[in-house]
Structure formats: structure tokens, C-alpha cells
């Protein structure tokens, strides 16, 4: 099946640091990538939809300046958590899908972010 690679898998850093998370589709061109956040024992919450070559579409309540998304190519999207604080600690997971509205999304393995 399709493979999505997410890196890093775990980050521990000090408050105020900016953290970049990469999401790559390895064997297909992903015109759209999605970024989710998951708190412990909760479901995945969509943060933003990332479209190649255009600005990301953020969900209501998600700070655009805090969570910067770049989708510069058909195989790479990045999420940068700027000036991270302890409340930003969470599990972040990306997904990608190819053409077709009702196709499975393929997920990366997630990034566990811990801000001290």
C-alpha cells in the first residue's frame, strides 16, 4: 500500500523552541495532505488541509501563526510549531491521499511532541 513517512517520531524540547515536522508521500503524488492533532485517549482532530502550491486551509480555532504549514511539492508537507509551549505538547499525525475524493488517507506514524 501507499507509504507516508513522518519525521521525527519524537521530539522533546524547551519552551520557546520552534519544531518542524516533515510528512512525505514516498510512492505517490499527494496533491493534498492533512495534519491532525491527537490528545491522549481522544480522537484525531483535523488541524489543517495542505494543498500543494497554495496556502493551507485551517480549521476553526487553529492558529495559523502558531502552526505554519508548507506544501512545496507533491511529496512533501511540513508543519512548524512556532515558539512551542507546554500546551502544544501532543501527538501530531499527517496523512496524504492521491486523486479521488473518496479514497483512503494514508497516515504517517505520527510525531510525539513534548515541550518542557
Task: Please give the residue ranges that form the binding site for another protein (CB under 8 A).
Answer: 1, 32, 34, 42-44, 46, 49, 57, 91, 93, 95, 97, 101-110, 112
Of the candidates 88, 96, 93, 79, which has an alpha carbon nearest to the alpha carbon of residue 36?
93
> Rounded to 5 degrees, what angle do the CA atoms 53, 57, 59 make?
160
Compute the least distance from the CB of residue 16 to another protein, in Å: 26
Closer residue to another protein, CB minimum distance, 34 or 75: 34
CB-nearer residue toward another protein: 32 or 77:
32
Name the one residue in this structure whose C-alpha cell is 521530539.
11
Q: Which is nearer to another protein, 15 or 99 (CB)?
A: 99
From CA 104, how far away is CA 49, in angstroms rounded?
15
In the complex, minimum distance from the CB of residue 57 to another protein, in angstroms, rounded to a whole number: 7
* Rounded-to-integer distance, Cα 96 and Cα 75, Å: 9
Amino acid at each position: 500500500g501507499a507509504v507516508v513517512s513522518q519525521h521525527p517520531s519524537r521530539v522533546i524540547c524547551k519552551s520557546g523552541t520552534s519544531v518542524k515536522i516533515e510528512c512525505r508521500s514516498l510512492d505517490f503524488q499527494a496533491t493534498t495532505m492533512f495534519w491532525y492533532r491527537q490528545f491522549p485517549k481522544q480522537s484525531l482532530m483535523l488541524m489543517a488541509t495542505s494543498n500543494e502550491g497554495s496556502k493551507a486551509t485551517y480549521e476553526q480555532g487553529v492558529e495559523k501563526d502558531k502552526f505554519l504549514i508548507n506544501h512545496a511539492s507533491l511529496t512533501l508537507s511540513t508543519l512548524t510549531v512556532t515558539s512551542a509551549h507546554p500546551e502544544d505538547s501532543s501527538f501530531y499525525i499527517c496523512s496524504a491521499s492521491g486523486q479521488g475524493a473518496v479514497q483512503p488517507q494514508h497516515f504517517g506514524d505520527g510525531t510525539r511532541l513534548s515541550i518542557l
